[in-house]
Amino acid sequence: MTAPAIGLRRTPRRHRQRQYSIHIGLSLIALVGLSPYIFALSTSFKTNEQFAESFWAPSFPLHFENFATAWTQIQPYMITSITVAVIAIACILVLSLLSGFVLARYSFPGRNFFFAVVIALLMVPGIAGLIPLFIMMRDLGLLNTVWVLAIPHIAGGAVLGTVLMKTFIEGIPQETFDAARIDGAGGPRIFRSIVLPLSLPVVGTVSLLTIISIWNDFFWPLLTITKNELKTVSVGLIFFQGQTGTEYGPMFAGYLLASLPLLLLFTFMSKYFLAGIQGGLPGSH
């Protein structure tokens, strides 16, 4: 066998070895990242005695009733979080779509200045407005209401949503708008028939970011809500832990149930989320 033939045979072998090394490395990274969730899943089926006897390994019999106990406890908190998310997403999408459309497709004095102000608001840390926002909500009598949970997310989400919407709408070819105007379509018709359908990827992105923000928000609901029926899921899980004490099975089952909506949403919307992010960032077109 000639030397070139030997070299051609060794090259695919080295390539396969490199691929195996990459797969092993990525598998280890995935295992390390998923290990807390695997531990939570294993613990959610245990009693306290099983948890003490086998800390890491699964233990039989499996106690599925832990999930029923956890669901009974966290159901009101999840309903509150879903209600806040629906209100915030609806308001954010209306504000950001309209403002992004106007800033992207209409010329008026101060347009660049207003957009620069919107971008500047992204650099303001949320903790800087915590005390003024709390005083404002208190003086308006909104403490212990759903609106005190939704308004901060609406204000913050509309800023990011406007930036993403404006950039995304600017990427729509101008010929599309020119053809619509030639056919006699005005601004409202263009927005309803062209902008809104084409903006669905970035709409999904803004919606998913809003849900994640609301689901993970802990300090603001803890500060402004004292009624148990208005607690969000992040605060309710801590309250659930205090009620159950050392009942580790129902406690970890509650953590898993609370994370399930976000897991399902990101699983089915990840394609639209990435498309919206890529199309809505400045310089992406």
Is 190 part of a structural domain of the chain? yes
How many other β-carbons are positioned within 10 Å of the β-carbon of residue 43? 23
pLDDT, position 8: 45
**39 shares its domain with 70:** no
**85 shares its domain with 171:** yes
**140 shares its domain with 269:** yes
Is 25 part of a structural domain of the chain? yes
pLDDT, position 4: 52
| Distance of alpha carbon 146 from alpha carbon 276, whole angstroms | 29
Return the closest-CA partner of residue 195 out of 89, 105, 91: 105
**7 shares its domain with 111:** no
Is 110 part of a structural domain of the chain? yes
Provide the token pair at 240: 């659930």
| Distance of alpha carbon 277 from alpha carbon 16, whole angstroms | 34
Per-residue pLDDT 10s for the chain (285 aa) are 455 554 445 557 777 778 888 888 888 898 888 888 888 888 889 888 888 888 788 888 888 998 998 898 889 999 999 999 999 999 999 999 999 999 988 888 888 899 999 888 888 887 888 899 999 999 999 999 999 999 999 998 999 999 989 988 888 888 888 888 888 888 888 888 888 888 888 888 898 889 999 998 999 999 999 988 899 998 888 876 655 566 888 888 988 999 888 888 888 777 766 665 555 455 455
What's the gap between Cα 42 and its chain centre?
A: 26
**34 shares its domain with 75:** no
Q: Which domain holds residue 19?
A: 3-43
| Distance of alpha carbon 10 from alpha carbon 3, whole angstroms | 11
pLDDT, position 210: 92
Return the closest-CA partner of residue 236 out of 30, 35, 26, 78: 78
**120 shares its domain with 12:** no
**84 shares its domain with 14:** no
Q: φ, ψ for residue 171 (rounded to 5)?
A: -80, -10
pTM here is: 0.82
Is 26 part of a structural domain of the chain? yes
> Between the CA of residue 24 and those of 18, 31, 33, 85, 165, what are the distances in Å?
10, 10, 14, 39, 40
- The contacts of residue 221 (CB under 8 Å, 6+ apart) are 149, 231, 232, 234, 235
Is 189 part of a structural domain of the chain? yes
Return the closest-CA partner of residue 234 out of 219, 247, 245: 219
**242 shares its domain with 126:** yes
Residue type, 284: S
| Distance of alpha carbon 200 from alpha carbon 209, whole angstroms | 14
How many other β-carbons are positioned within 10 Å of the β-carbon of residue 16? 10
Token pair 């004490």 is found at 245
Is 18 part of a structural domain of the chain? yes
Provide the token pair at 211: 């849900």
| Distance of alpha carbon 158 from alpha carbon 88, whole angstroms | 9
Instruction: Supply the CATH number for residue 152's domain.
Output: 1.10.3720.10
Is 49 part of a structural domain of the chain? no
**130 shares its domain with 252:** yes
Q: Determine the longest span between alpha carbons in the chain, in angstroms.
A: 89
| Distance of alpha carbon 277 from alpha carbon 162, whole angstroms | 13
pLDDT, position 149: 94
Q: φ, ψ for residue 64 (rounded to 5)?
A: -70, -15
Token pair 């030397």 is found at 3
Return the closest-CA partner of residue 198 out of 276, 266, 94: 276
